[in-house]
Structure 1
Amino acid sequence: MSIPNKNEQQQALAEAIEAIGTVAFARRLAQLVSSYVDSDCCLVLSYQASGAAVYLYDDLTDKRELLFSQYLNGIYAQDPFYRALRHGLSDGVYSLSTLMHQQGVNDPHYMADFYLATGWRQELGIVLALNKQQWLTLFLGRLTTTPFSAVEQQGLRQLLPILSALCRQHWHKGAETLAHSPMLDVAVSPTLARLDAMAPNIRAPMRLRVEHALITFAQSRLTPREQQVAALLVQGQDNVAIAKLLGIGEGTVKNHRKHIYAKLALDSQGALFAHFLNHLITSDSAPSTKRPAPRATSNL
């Protein structure tokens, strides 16, 4: 464990303050925390009382695809931190092991089926309430079994009031529903038709990104038919149109829709669309998947 450098901490704090109101804030916030405690990886998310988890920042280098293909597509609901927050967890700094022991939120299937696959062996979570309905969570992970010491945890607890003040200034209305990705230099067009009107050097890669995102959206959480319905829903189709396109009854579409919302912890078509945009922005642009694309799609 390295000794924290006061000059680096002060510089990191200054940069976090300067980043308030900009897209760089989540990254600067993570760097501020990292100036106090060494870790192998960092992840910043927002959890909501209703709706999906919101991705804000990560510096993952190993098994990063699990975050987007599984965790953000529904497995987050099994995370002990998310479950503890839903049961009234207060602001603080918690190790994963302590949280599971004190809060009684251990999920053996989550730990065995997902968490071990990430490679994380020690985890520390910083929890901050943005308002009564939304929390900011910053996770520090270690790929070794070296635990976060009591001294490290106490240092972060002393930093907590500053982190809370910074976050409340930046997210005074709650965390945004979309992540920011350095991979996208062009704003996402709302329709593929508009993409066709753009310059050719923009149109092709953007179209590929959208098509790839439709193929992979919630792939690990939904059945092939549910994924087809979800892909059409995010393109603005209603139940009648989806039933006609897929050759199924309107009642069947309603059932699929109900299952999609339940599996993804969403409550409306608008929330589903926001979740899809988050997936679009953060997903790998490489068009590779084991499951074929839904056959029935509409022109966005």
Structure 2
Amino acid sequence: MIADGTARAIAALIAAAGRSGYGPALDALTRQAAGFDMSCAFAFNPDQSPVLIHDGYSATVDRRALRTYLRGAYLLDPFYSACVSGCSEGLWRMRDLAPDGFYDSDFAWSREVHPCISDQAGTLVEEVGFTIPLHDGFAATYSLMRNRGGQPFDAAEFAALAALTPIVGASLRQQWQHHIHGTDANPATPRPDTELVFQQAFGALLTPAQHAVTKLILRGHSSLSIAQNLGIAEGTVKIHRSNIYRRLGISSQSELFQIFIDHLVE
């Protein structure tokens, strides 16, 4: 039996479809299952810029980070990678989608590019997200975040959220139809090819092989994971990494990340 609060939240979500209160209504439903500090929902397509469906964090974080994320930092987000690689509908913990070295990467903790990380809000303790296939090659991520000082989502909370997946999925697909057909629609715009985004950031200084390694470094893959993804030896990856740093005049992964971010914020 559905609890009274959940039933009312579902009714409110249905009534909010296509309206400005859609995001808060979606949050109100998922808060029936588990509390969280911030939320967001994006629609992703590999050939177009992300579409912000719901902004549930700008009241507490610097919007410049959101702009940088939308200009290209999303390419490093595990939820983006999951959406454009055909991830099935469901609820995921970020750590289950992220590459093996992601939590040692600068993206995971950067206040400059991750809209959910800021001095005001504090470093995240955990992020979980629904991945929802939409239409026309798009998929959505609806993320829920808890800040430092809190606790990760426990097994019971995760299960309660996961049980809402069919409702969240149907609702996001309905909202997406309102978005693309509404009179105030702001459709996704074509963006430069992913390869071009990285090539513009690092110029002609890197070879194609070094560009491939650089992208995986930035996304949080370890040398072993990069080797497995590219079908080369781990020692070869380490040689590429050394040559990348030498060609760019840097000495660390943090500096590599900063070059990429500086390109996005220009």
TM-score, normalisation: structure 1: 0.52
Alignment of 1:162-241 (within 5 A): 162-172=167-177, 178=186
Shift of 1:46: 1.2
Shift of 1:148: 0.7
Aligned to 2:77: 79
Instruction: Mark the CA change 1:165 to 1:105 in structure 2 (over 3 Å): closer, same or farther.
Output: farther
Of 148, 157, 161, 1:152 maps to: 157
Aligned to 1:106: 102
Shift of 1:89: 1.4
Work out the percentage of aligned pairs sharing the same amino acid.
23
Shift of 1:55: 1.1
Shift of 1:128: 0.7
Shift of 1:66: 4.2
Structure 2: how far apart are the matches of 1:35 and 1:148? 14
> How many residues get paired?
183
Shift of 1:125: 0.7
Aligned to 2:143: 139
Structure 1: how far apart are the matches of 2:192 and 2:165? 40
Structure 2: how far apart are the matches of 1:9 and 1:156? 12
- Unaligned runs of at least 5 residues, structure 2: 199-265
One-letter amino acid of the counterpart of residue 30, structure 1? D
Shift of 1:129: 0.7
Structure 2: how far apart are the matches of 1:56 and 1:105? 29
| Native 8 Å contact 2:93 2:128 kept in 1 | yes
Aligned to 1:128: 132
Instruction: Mark the CA change 1:81 to 1:259 in structure 2 (over 3 Å): closer, same or farther.
Output: closer
Instruction: Mark the CA change 1:62 to 1:169 in structure 2 (over 3 Å): closer, same or farther.
Output: closer
Structure 1 runs, 4 residues or longer, greater than 3 Å off = 104-107, 112-118, 172-177, 257-264
Of 241, 247, 263, 2:197 maps to: 263
Aligned to 2:38: 41
Q: What are the superposed Cα offsets for residues 197-251 of structure 1, whole Å, 9 maximum, x if unpaired?
A: xxxxxxxxxxxxxxxxxxxxxxxxxxxxxxxxxxxxxxxxxxxxxxxxxxxxxxx
Q: What are the superposed Cα offsets for residues 169-220 of structure 1, whole Å, 9 maximum, x if unpaired?
A: 33237757639xxxxxxxxxxxxxxxxxxxxxxxxxxxxxxxxxxxxxxxxx
Q: What are the superposed Cα offsets for residues 98-139 of structure 1, whole Å, 9 maximum, x if unpaired?
A: 2226xx583723224444844222101111111251112111
Instruction: Mark the CA change 1:148 to 1:21 in structure 2 (over 3 Å): closer, same or farther.
Output: same
| Native 8 Å contact 2:83 2:140 kept in 1 | no
Shift of 1:258: 6.9
One-letter amino acid of the counterpart of residue 138, structure 1? Y
Structure 2: how far apart are the matches of 1:140 and 1:120? 10
TM-score, normalisation: structure 2: 0.58
Aligned to 1:200: none
One-letter amino acid of the counterpart of residue 99, structure 1? L
Shift of 1:259: 9.3
Of 28, 31, 35, 1:31 maps to: 28
One-letter amino acid of the counterpart of residue 154, structure 2? S
Superposition CA RMSD, Å: 3.4
One-letter amino acid of the counterpart of residue 263, structure 1? V
Aligned to 1:226: none
Q: What are the superposed Cα offsets for residues 14-43 of structure 1, whole Å, 9 maximum, x if unpaired?
A: 101112233332332222112221001111
One-letter amino acid of the counterpart of residue 33, structure 1? T
- Unaligned runs of at least 5 residues, structure 1: 180-256, 265-293, 295-300
Shift of 1:68: 2.5
- Greater Rg over alpha carbons, structure: 1
